């Protein structure tokens, strides 16, 4: 059903000034890699964008050595206020170059320009502004007086929010006084390399930020490097497990942000119109390539048919197509491999007896696309209710009582996020309290703010990013200069304090 015809409204690419090829960014300069360069393509057209250098183990060594030198000689010696100035400069440059960054992100990743322009890039700037403010206030992070940075941070990020995940990693690390080596995902290196240009423009000391591109082996060499003090990873649970094994027994600190299978719970007293928008935003934002996506809709049985009817009507109005068109709601799937995985799991859903409904859309001839899809009659044992599909596919389950909703929501190996839709504030608090999820949204979904910690329970990983917790993950407590009081003495102190 189409209510209105939209004329094409493509965002111009004229603002992009891309190079034909990009080197590795090490010690403040771009240089050739020793691996075989690879191509970055647009997932919407499969057209070549640029050639990207491939870092081998010797390049990883060089990047870590540059980060170590910068840590020892400049960054860890600078005052917090001076480090903060550098981060403020980065934040302002991101704002200045925001249109260019949004166009590059949509071109390389396939996400709609309205999302990269209105969500990803503004949040990148917000993350740098927020952590710039922390740089001279580390005593107030909550770790006691004079906490110290860890040293060199190795950071590996996925392809779904390339520039935003970079900001989540780099901003707190630098504010705390660490230097970094970051590896973006192979399919989305472009905006990390534009960010490297911003680091040069912002006049950061060479080696404070190093960006090395390559595939999984480059990531493995980086996190396994002997001179790294901290590993921060966002990606799949399977790679997270492999990293946890490689880091075990070393002194490296580790944070893992992994997958999810969030329940979005709609009670019968929910404001239905808002809930429909929240369900759509929960699973179809960024083509469902969102670790905290509301991929399991738990709807109270009495309103199931009404919610599904309205949802189908709403999905029929979504526009799928050119990510650079300002009217596009659903962009391209990031890669052929990801498309294959979405197709496979959806076929499994149908074979297991769930009922598939797909919005009628015209699929472009080239590129990787998947139309918004809903599965009803899903049971908790179905694979589409348990495994992360990481695409625009919603699995719908029903419940009768709040207790059943909570039990079903928690019946997952993951625990990253959840949503609650109800008119009753008391129900929000009671249900949120029992959900085993790091983030619970009430009457909204997929909202992010730099001051709010984000992270998982169970197989969704450990550690938090964002807020005070996010910077604490990059700090250690300074070695005590006097012996800590004994346990008995501590008890006396606390008793004294309560008198």
Question: Which one-letter DSSP state was computed for residue 316?
Answer: T
Q: Kindly tell me which of 27 and 388 has the beta carbon lying closer to ligand NAP.
A: 388
> Among 141, 181, 194, 243, which residue sits at the site for ligand NAP (rule: CB under 6 A)?
243
At 92, list the tokens.
Answer: 């302002």
Beta carbons of 446 and 292 less than 8 angstroms apart? yes
Helix (H) or strand (E) holding 152: strand 152-156
By the rule CB under 5 A, 191 interacts with Mg ion: no
Q: Per CB under 5 A, which of residues 9..48 are in contact with Mg ion? A: 40
3-class secondary-structure state, position 409: helix
**Pick from 125, 103, 129, 127: nearest CA to 116:** 103
Q: Which is nearer to ligand NAP, 54 or 97 (CB)?
A: 54
At what angle are helices 162-175 and 98-109 packed, to 10 degrees?
A: 130
- CA nearest to 390, candidates 444, 346, 425, 351: 346
CB of 214 to Mg ion, least distance (A): 14
388, 409, 445, 475: which one contacts ligand NAP (CB under 6 A)?
388
What sign does the CA torsion over 312, 316, 318, 323 have?
positive
Please identify, among the stretches 46-54, 198-206, 235-243, 491-499, the one whose residues bind ligand NAP according to the rule CB under 6 A. Answer: 235-243
Among 149, 259, 321, 331, binds ligand NAP (CB under 6 A): 259
With contacts defined by CB under 6 A, name the span among 211-219, 276-284, 303-311, 399-407 that binds ligand NAP.
211-219
Instruction: Determine the distance from the C-alpha atom of residue 343 to the mean position of all C-alpha atoms in its chain, rounded to a whole number.
Output: 23
DSSP state letters, 76-128: GGS-HHHHHHHHHHHHHHHHHTHHHHHHHHHHHH---HHHIIIIIHHHHHHHH
Measure the CA–CA gap between 431 and 408, rounded to whole angstroms: 12
CB of 30 to ligand NAP, least distance (A): 19
Determine if 220 is a binding residue for ligand NAP (CB under 6 A).
Answer: yes
For ligand NAP, the binding residue among 117, 169, 183, 225 (CB under 6 A) is 183
Q: Under the criterion CB under 6 A, does residue 223 sit at the interface with ligand NAP?
A: yes
Binding partner at 108 among ligand NAP, Mg ion, none, C-beta below 5 to 8 Å by kind: Mg ion
Q: Binding ligand NAP by CB under 6 A: which of 198, 239, 254, 437?
A: 239
373-376, strands of its sheet edge to edge: 355-358, 373-376, 393-399, 296-300, 263-266, 417-421, 439-442
By CB under 5 A, tell whether 108 contacts Mg ion: yes
Catalytic residue among 257, 387, 459, 465: 257
Residue selected from 187, 218, 328, 412 as contacting Mg ion according to rule CB under 5 A: 187
Q: Using DSSP, state whether 334 is helix, strand or coil.
A: coil
> Does 106 sit near Mg ion (CB under 5 A)?
no
Beta partners for residue 396, in sequence order:
297
Contact between 57 and ligand NAP (CB under 6 A)? no
Q: How far is the CB of 465 from ligand NAP (least distance, A)?
A: 7
Q: Is the dihedral of CA 83, 89, 93, 96 positive or negative?
A: positive
Q: Which is nearer to ligand NAP, 100 or 217 (CB)?
A: 217
- Number of residues in the chain: 499
Least distance from C-beta 243 to ligand NAP, angstroms? Answer: 6
Contact region for ligand NAP (CB under 6 A) — 38-46, 234-242, 300-308, 398-406? Answer: 234-242
Contact code string over 155-174 relative to ligand NAP, x by CB under 6 A:
-xxxxx--------------
Question: Smallest distance, Å, CB 162 to Mg ion?
Answer: 9
Spatial contact of 110 and 391, defined as CB atoms under 8 Å apart: no
Q: Is 392 in the site for ligand NAP (CB under 6 A)?
A: no
**Number of alpha carbons in the 13 Å side-chain half-sphere of residue 404:** 12
Q: Which range in 22-30, 181-189, 364-372, 474-482 contacts ligand NAP by CB under 6 A?
A: 181-189
Active site residue 257: yes
Q: How many CB atoms lie within 10 A of CB 268?
A: 17
What residues between 442 and 471 interact with ligand NAP by CB under 6 A?
461
Can you point out the beta strands (E) in 185-273? 209-211, 230-234, 253-257, 263-266
Q: Which one, of 330, 385, 382, 324, lies nearest residue 358 by Cα? A: 330
Report the partner that residue 239 touches, choosing among Mg ion, ligand NAP, none (CB closer than 5 to 8 A by kind): ligand NAP
Q: Give least dist CB 416 to ligand NAP, A.
A: 6
- Name which of 192, 328, 270 is nearest 445 in CA terms: 270
Number of shown-chain residues binding ligand NAP (CB under 6 A): 28
Could you give the CA distance from residue 233 to residue 158 in angstroms, rounded to a whole number?
9
Rg (CA), the chain: 23
Question: By CB under 6 A, is residue 186 in contact with ligand NAP?
Answer: yes
- Residues at the site binding ligand NAP, with contacts judged by CB under 6 A: 156-160, 183, 185-186, 215-216, 219-220, 223, 234-236, 239, 242-243, 257-260, 291, 388, 390, 416, 461
- Residues at the site binding Mg ion, with contacts judged by CB under 5 A: 40, 108, 187
Catalytic residue numbers read: 257
């Amino acid at each position: 059903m189409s209510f209105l015809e939209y004329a094409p409204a493509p965002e111009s690419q004229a603002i992009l000034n891309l190079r034909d090829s990009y080197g590795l960014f090490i010690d403040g300069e771009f240089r050739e890699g020793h691996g075989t360069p690879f191509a970055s393509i647009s997932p919407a057209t499969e057209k070549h964008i640029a050639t990207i250098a491939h870092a081998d183990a010797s390049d990883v060594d060089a990047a870590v050595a540059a980060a170590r030198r910068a840590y020892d000689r400049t960054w860890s010696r600078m005052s917090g206020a001076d480090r903060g100035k550098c981060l403020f400069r980065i934040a302002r440059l991101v704002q200045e170059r925001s249109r260019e960054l949004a166009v590059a992100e949509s071109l390389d990743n396939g996400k709609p320009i309205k999302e990269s322009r209105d969500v990803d890039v503004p949040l990148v700037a917000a993350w740098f502004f927020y952590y710039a403010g922390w740089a001279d206030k580390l005593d107030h992070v909550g770790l006691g007086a004079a906490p110290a940075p860890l040293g060199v941070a190795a950071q590996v990020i996925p392809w779904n929010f390339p520039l935003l995940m970079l900001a989540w990693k780099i901003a707190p690390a630098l504010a705390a006084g660490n230097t970094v080596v970051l590896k973006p995902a192979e399919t989305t290196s472009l905006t990390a390399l534009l960010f490297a240009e911003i680091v040069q423009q912002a006049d950061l000391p060479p080696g404070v930020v190093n960006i090395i591109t390559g595939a999984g082996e480059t990531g493995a060499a980086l996190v396994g490097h002997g001179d790294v003090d901290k590993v921060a990873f966002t990606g799949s649970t399977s790679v997270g497990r492999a990293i946890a094994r490689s880091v075990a027994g070393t002194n490296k600190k580790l944070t893992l942000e992994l997958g999810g299978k969030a329940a979005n719970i709609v009670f019968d007293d929910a404001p239905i119109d808002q809930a429909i928008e929240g369900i759509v935003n929960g699973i179809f934002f960024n083509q469902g390539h969102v670790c905290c996506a509301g991929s399991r809709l738990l709807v109270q049985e009495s309103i199931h048919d009404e919610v599904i009817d309205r949802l189908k009507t709403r999905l029929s109005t979504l526009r799928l197509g050119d990510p650079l068109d300002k009217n596009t709601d659903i962009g391209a799937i990031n890669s052929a491999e990801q498309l294959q995985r979405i197709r496979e799991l959806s076929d499994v859903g149908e074979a297991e007896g769930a009922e598939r409904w797909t919005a009628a859309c015209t699929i472009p001839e080239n590129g990787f696309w998947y139309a918004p899809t809903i599965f009803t009659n899903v049971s908790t044992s179905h694979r589409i209710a348990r495994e992360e599909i990481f695409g625009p596919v919603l699995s719908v389950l029903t419940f009768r009582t709040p207790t059943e909703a909570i039990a079903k929501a928690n019946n997952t190996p993951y625990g990253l996020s959840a949503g609650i839709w109800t008119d009753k504030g008391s129900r929000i608090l009671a249900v949120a309290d029992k959900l085993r999820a790091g983030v619970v949204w009430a009457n909204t979904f997929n909202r992010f703010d730099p001051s709010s910690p984000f992270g998982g329970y169970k197989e969704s990983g450990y550690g938090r990013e964002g807020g005070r917790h996010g910077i604490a993950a990059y700090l250690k407590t300074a070695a005590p200069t006097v012996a800590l009081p004994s346990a008995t003495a501590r008890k006396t102190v606390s008793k004294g304090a309560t008198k």
